[in-house]
Amino acid sequence: MRYSKKVMDHFSHPRNVGEIEDASGVGEVGNPVCGDIMKIYIKVKDNVITDIKFNTFGCGAAIATSSMVTEMAKGKTIEEALKLTNAAVAEALDGLPPIKMHCSNLAADGLKAAIIDYKKKSGLPCDNLKVEHSCCGGCGAAK
């Protein structure tokens, strides 16, 4: 199990770490039992994500995917951001070790949770939006 150079880059120099005090939306996925928690903050102006920050408790892959998703989402419209998937985030990092693909690859879901929160707070329709993976799925918490 070796991480790609891109994963190590994002892990050791994570982008957009922190919180946004007056965030338009906040999303959280994972839980302490499975060992990954991602919290994503977004600032939305005119339907565009103008700022995004994250806090993550988790392994190298969890931190790198969080960092990468913030980079990918910044400047995107809400519709564009909703198209980001966990798989796309992993791909942008030149892949993740197989064992990490499920357990620590939740960043796009974290972003989605933040967008849902933003829509609810702004009174916008959420349609059928839902977070697909809120947890690793294998830990005791999911059962």
DSSP class of residue 58 equals S
Examine the residue annotation and report whether 103 is marked as an active-site residue of this protein. yes
Measured from the CB atom, the residue of 8 and 78 that comes closer to another protein is 8
Tell me if 24 sits within 8 A of 44, measured CB to CB.
yes
For residue 35, give both structure tokens.
């060992």
Figure out which of the listed residues 39, 43, 112, 119 binds another protein, where binding follows CB under 8 A. 39
The b/e string for 110-138 (b: 16+ C-beta within 10 A; e otherwise) is bbbbbbbbbbeeeeeeeeeeebebbbbee
CB of 93 to another protein, least distance (A): 14
Figure out which of the listed residues 10, 11, 81, 90 binds another protein, where binding follows CB under 8 A. 11
For residue 76, give both structure tokens.
């995107």
Neighbouring-strand partners of residue 43:
51
CB of 102 to another protein, least distance (A): 9
Question: From residue 54 to residue 73, what is the string marking binding to another protein with x (rule CB under 8 A)?
Answer: xxxxxxxxxx----------
Measured from the CB atom, the residue of 45 and 143 that comes closer to another protein is 143
Contact status: 93 vs another protein (CB under 8 A): no
Instruction: State the Cα–Cα distance between residues 120 and 1, nearest whole angstrom.
Output: 40
- Residue 14: alpha-carbon gap to chain centroid: 13
CB of 135 to another protein, least distance (A): 10
Contact set with another protein (CB under 8 A): 3, 8, 11-12, 14, 17-19, 28, 32-39, 54-63, 99-100, 103-104, 136, 138-140
